[in-house]
């Protein structure tokens, strides 16, 4: 009981310290890691962005989003389309369209020629899709496993749609072979390093946003909706609206992760957006600890890193390892690895400790202490 | 000489008391040192309640709940039929009846949780057909049989959420920096000031129910529908709750579903008895107790399944001596009945 409460309102100094540490570590990475490893880390950070959003929607809001691949894919494909058009030059046609398509750029690709429009659409399209879908689903009180199945079916449908539209989406191959990112040559290691720093900065901003939301009244309301949806309704709130907001935020974060994933990795294909990657996003969050702030991020990065290193050693062993890890965590650590700290014997000082968060009521901690004595 | 049957009826009416008494043990959790064992130290500040209730009474001064021809049907089973009910401000109304009489369903219908036909109006506006959260915004608040508070959130956060349904989105996205005055008052009224930063999940059962009443107060509900508000409370807590409800009832429209007959006799202004989905009787406590139809329902007829009496209890005829709860003082109750309202 103390762990979630303590994490609802962590002390400000502790949070700042954690942020400082994370920033230093992320800034040190380029100096320590080889360009290849740094590229991998940048990719992990992009995947972790999806995890941050899932941590909010699932950990805080109880929305088991098994289809974040859809939003990751929307962001990724929009970015990839822009990069393809930019590579082709003004009025040019992307190479794969000449191979498989009519040799004409379809009308719905055209707005993405402008970099500003591309960035705007990367944020807007997932938000609108998630908003409409969320509204339709949550006002009909679809929840729990039904919502999970629905979102997963959506991810499957999205992947199938992409595969079927080879002339305009590249089909199974996806979109790849990007040469430049907003004018910067992607073959240049310095630019790759810049991409890494952008990803690190964006991730930190996202964590800060989720922390702000969690500590806000909205964050409290979200937890209330997760635990007692009907009670919230009887207080005069529309829980569907609260859920939609959390879902949209998670969707936009997934989309931004997808958009940065494209220049970092150099390819986006249906294999990155379907059911399997959608579940993969969730596993990192579950292992790290979904209800905590940093659990999803660290869990996601750790799982990505383990996947890479284990796959290097045992090319087909990862999938078994991943399954076993997931089962172990769900069975023995439902709160994720982050809850391990709560199991260790430590100062039990929940109320007094919490006061660092607001600092409005200096007497409260003492009162609680006195009550306990 | 009429005394003997009347006592018998009272004892019969007191039978359902056995049910709440059974789960009377407060839901203490020994592992939580701060809240569990410590009884609520502060008695509820009725002055605080006054301050809370004192705001904005003129707007709803003449409001009343008016239910006409209400009917609720679940797949062919009619849970509530042709119910007419009028409750005015200043009339602390108790709703009683055996299990399955439709009391909770009636509340569910008024608050939009189940679909119903007929009419239920409060403050001149129709409630049926509106969504639950809009009904809540129209000033209707309710509690549930099982105290439903947000267990992972603190007492303060619970009350703050209850106070905030009309907050603007930008306010919601900000952190709570100060405690709203209404929340502060409610904390005092329900005697949970010392527990304000504890997660609501560690509170004792009675405290959770107090918290729920506090949430209704800060929610600014003007029609309060309370489903067994004193279940699991100690005698002293019941007394405090009753006083508070009476205080609230003078300024708001209050309907209480309750099985505790001692509590009912002490605090009800009027009683509506429901049976098999219909209103069986309505009137003062004395009137209802002397109503032959009510007596028959509570004595139990062959058609009436066990009702509120838990399975395995003694047969109806022997109940009076056995089932009268230890804390129910018939003499005391009798004098209370005589009191002018």
Digits of tens for pLDDT over chain A (373 positions)? 334 444 444 467 777 888 888 888 888 898 888 989 999 999 999 999 999 999 999 999 999 999 999 999 999 999 999 999 999 988 888 988 888 877 888 889 999 999 999 999 999 999 999 999 999 999 998 888 999 999 999 999 999 999 998 888 888 999 999 999 998 999 898 999 999 999 999 999 999 999 999 999 999 999 999 999 989 999 999 999 999 999 999 999 999 999 999 999 999 999 999 998 999 899 899 988 888 888 899 999 999 999 888 888 888 888 888 888 888 888 888 888 877 766 655 444 444 333 333 333 333 333 333 333 3
**A107 to chain B nearest CA, in Å?**
37
Whose CA is closest to B110, among B93, B85, B76?
A: B85
Q: Which residues pair with B255 in a beta bridge?
A: B93, B225
Best CATH choice for the domain B3-334 from the list 3.40.50.300, 3.40.30.10, 3.40.190.10, 3.90.420.10: 3.40.50.300
CA dihedral B160, B163, B165, B170 (to 10 degrees): -60
**A278 to chain B nearest CA, in Å?**
29
CA–CA dist B116, B79 (Å, integer): 10
Mean pLDDT of chain A: 85
CA atoms within 13 A on the CB side of B266: 24
pLDDT of residue B98: 87
B168 touches chain A (CB under 8 A): no
Q: Output A199-203 pairs: Cβ under 8 A, ≥24 positions apart.
A: A199/A42, A199/A45, A199/A46, A199/A49, A199/A260, A199/A264, A200/A26, A200/A27, A200/A29, A200/A42, A200/A45, A202/A49, A202/A256, A202/A260, A203/A45, A203/A48, A203/A49, A203/A52, A203/A297
**B241 to chain A nearest CA, in Å?**
21
Q: Do A230 and B153 touch (CB under 8 A)?
A: no
B165 vs A contacts (CB less than 8 Å): 235-237
A366 touches chain B (CB under 8 A): no
A213 vs B contacts (CB less than 8 Å): 173
- Produce one character per residue of B267-294: b if its CB has 16 or more CB atoms within 10 Å, e if not: bbbbbbbbbbbbbbbbeebeebbbbeeb
Chain B residue at shortest CA distance from A221: B161
- 280-319 in chain B: CB under 8 A from chain A: none
Tens-digit pLDDT profile for residues A82-125: 999 999 988 888 988 888 877 888 889 999 999 999 999 999 99
Of residues A217, A238, A360, nearest to B160 (C-beta) = A217
**A335 to chain B nearest CA, in Å?**
14
pLDDT of residue A208: 93
A179 touches chain B (CB under 8 A): no
Per-domain residue ranges for chain B? 3-334
Q: At what angle do helices B46-54 and B205-218 cross, to 10 degrees?
A: 30
pLDDT of residue A51: 96
Q: How far apart are the first and last CA of chain B?
A: 26
Q: Do A234 and B141 touch (CB under 8 A)?
A: yes
Per-domain residue ranges for chain A? 2-275
Whose CA is closest to A173, among A259, A97, A69, A283?
A: A97
Of residues B175, B178, B219, nearest to A236 (C-beta) = B219
ipTM value greater than 0.90: no
Largest CA-CA distance found in chain B, in angstroms, rounded: 69
Interface size between A and B, measured as CB pairs under 8 A: 120
CA–CA dist A71, A256 (Å, integer): 9
User: Residue with structure tokens 């959608």?
Assistant: A278
A364 vs B contacts (CB less than 8 Å): 196-197
CA–CA dist B158, B169 (Å, integer): 18
pLDDT of residue B11: 40
Q: Do B197 and A351 touch (CB under 8 A)?
A: yes
Mutate to test the interface with A, among B109, B160, B166, B176 (most CBs of A within 10 A): B176
Digits of tens for pLDDT over chain B (341 positions)? 434 444 444 444 433 333 333 333 343 334 434 433 444 444 455 666 666 666 554 444 567 899 999 999 998 889 999 999 999 888 899 999 888 888 999 999 999 989 999 999 998 889 999 999 999 998 999 998 887 899 999 999 999 999 988 888 888 888 888 889 999 988 988 889 999 999 999 998 888 988 999 999 999 889 999 998 888 888 888 998 899 898 888 888 999 998 888 899 999 999 999 999 999 999 999 898 888 888 888 765 544 444 444 444 334 333 333 333 333 333 333 333 333 43
Tens-digit pLDDT profile for residues A174-210: 999 999 999 899 989 899 999 999 999 999 999 999 9
pLDDT of residue A271: 93
**B331 to chain A nearest CA, in Å?**
39
Q: Do B175 and A213 touch (CB under 8 A)?
A: no
B160 vs A contacts (CB less than 8 Å): 217, 220
pLDDT of residue B75: 87
B201 touches chain A (CB under 8 A): yes
Of residues A223, A224, A351, nearest to B198 (C-beta) = A351
Question: Token pair for residue A4?
Answer: 């979630």
- 212-231 in chain B: CB under 8 A from chain A: 215, 219
CA–CA dist A134, A241 (Å, integer): 9
Chain B residue at shortest CA distance from A373: B34
Contacts of A341 (CB under 8 A, 6+ apart): A3
pLDDT of residue A167: 85
Q: Which residues pair with A176 in a beta bridge?
A: A267
């Amino acid at each position: 009981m103390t762990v979630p409460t303590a994490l609802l309102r962590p002390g400000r100094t502790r949070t700042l310290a954690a942020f400082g540490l994370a920033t230093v570590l992320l800034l040190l990475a380029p100096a320590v890691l080889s360009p290849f490893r740094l590229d991998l880390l940048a990719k992990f950070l992009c995947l972790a962005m999806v995890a941050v959003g899932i941590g909010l929607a699932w950990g805080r809001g109880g929305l088991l989003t098994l289809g974040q691949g859809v939003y990751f894919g929307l962001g990724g494909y929009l970015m990839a389309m822009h990069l393809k058009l930019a590579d082709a030059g003004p009025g040019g046609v992307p190479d794969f369209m000449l191979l498989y398509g009519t040799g004409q750029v379809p009308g719905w690709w055209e707005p993405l020629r402008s970099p500003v429009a591309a960035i705007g659409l990367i944020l807007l399209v997932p938000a609108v899709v998630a908003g409409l879908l969320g509204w339709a689903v949550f006002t009909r009180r679809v929840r729990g496993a039904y919502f999970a199945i629905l979102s997963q079916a959506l991810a499957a449908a999205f992947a199938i749609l992409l595969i079927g539209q080879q002339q305009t989406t590249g089909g199974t191959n996806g979109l790849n072979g990007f040469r430049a990112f907003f004018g910067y040559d992607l073959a240049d290691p310095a630019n790759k390093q810049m991409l890494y720093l952008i990803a690190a900065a964006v991730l930190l901003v996202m964590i800060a946003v989720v922390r702000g939301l969690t500590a806000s009244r909205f964050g409290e309301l979200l937890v209330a909706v997760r635990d007692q949806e009907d009670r919230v309704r009887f207080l005069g709130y529309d829980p569907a609206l609260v859920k939609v907001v959390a879902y949209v935020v998670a969707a936009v974060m997934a989309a931004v992760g997808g958009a940065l994933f494209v220049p970092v990795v150099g390819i986006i294909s249906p294999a990155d957006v379907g059911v399997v990657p959608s579940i993969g996003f969730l596993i990192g969050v579950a292992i790290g600890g979904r209800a905590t702030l940093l659990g999803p991020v660290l869990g996601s990065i750790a799982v990505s890193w383990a996947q890479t290193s284990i796959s290097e050693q045992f090319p087909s062993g990862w999938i078994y390892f991943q399954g076993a890890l997931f089962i172990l965590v769900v069975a023995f650590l439902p709160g994720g690895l982050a809850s391990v700290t709560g199991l260790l014997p430590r100062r039990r000082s929940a109320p007094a400790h919490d006061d660092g968060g607001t600092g409005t009521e200096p007497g409260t901690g003492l009162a609680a202490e006195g009550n306990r004595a | 000489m009429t005394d003997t049957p009347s006592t018998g009826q009272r004892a019969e009416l007191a039978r359902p008391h056995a049910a709440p008494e059974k789960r009377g043990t407060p839901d203490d959790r020994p592992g939580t040192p701060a809240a569990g064992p410590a009884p609520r130290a502060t008695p509820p500040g009725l002055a605080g309640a006054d301050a809370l209730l004192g705001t904005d009474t003129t707007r709803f001064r003449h409001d009343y709940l008016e239910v006409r021809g209400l009917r609720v049907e679940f797949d062919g089973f009619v849970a509530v039929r042709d119910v007419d009910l009028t409750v005015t401000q200043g009339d602390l109304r108790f709703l009683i009846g055996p299990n399955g009489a439709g009391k909770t369903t009636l509340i569910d219908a008024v608050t939009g949780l189940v679909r119903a036909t007929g009419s239920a109006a409060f403050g001149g506006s129709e409630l049926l057909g509106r969504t639950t959260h809009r009904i809540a915004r129209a000033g209707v608040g309710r509690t549930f049989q099982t105290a439903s508070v947000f267990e992972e959130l603190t007492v303060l956060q619970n009350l703050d959420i209850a106070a905030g349904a009309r907050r603007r989105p930008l306010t919601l996205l900000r952190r709570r920096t100060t405690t709203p005055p209404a929340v502060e008052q409610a904390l005092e009224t329900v005697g949970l000031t010392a527990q304000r930063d504890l997660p609501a999940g560690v509170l004792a059962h009675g405290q959770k129910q107090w918290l729920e009443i506090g949430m209704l107060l800060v929610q600014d509900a003007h029609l309060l529908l309370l489903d067994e508000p004193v279940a699991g409370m100690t005698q002293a807590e019941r007394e405090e709750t009753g006083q508070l409800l009476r205080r609230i009832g003078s300024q708001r429209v209050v309907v209480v579903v309750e099985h505790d007959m001692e509590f009912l006799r002490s605090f009800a202004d009027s009683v509506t008895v429901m049976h098999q989905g219909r209103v069986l009787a309505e009137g003062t406590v004395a009137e209802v107790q002397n109503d032959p139809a009510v007596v028959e329902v509570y004595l139990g007829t062959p058609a009436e399944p066990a009702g509120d009496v838990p399975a395995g209890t003694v047969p109806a005829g022997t109940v009076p001596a056995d089932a009268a709860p230890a804390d129910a003082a018939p003499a005391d109750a009798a004098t209370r009945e005589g009191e002018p309202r």
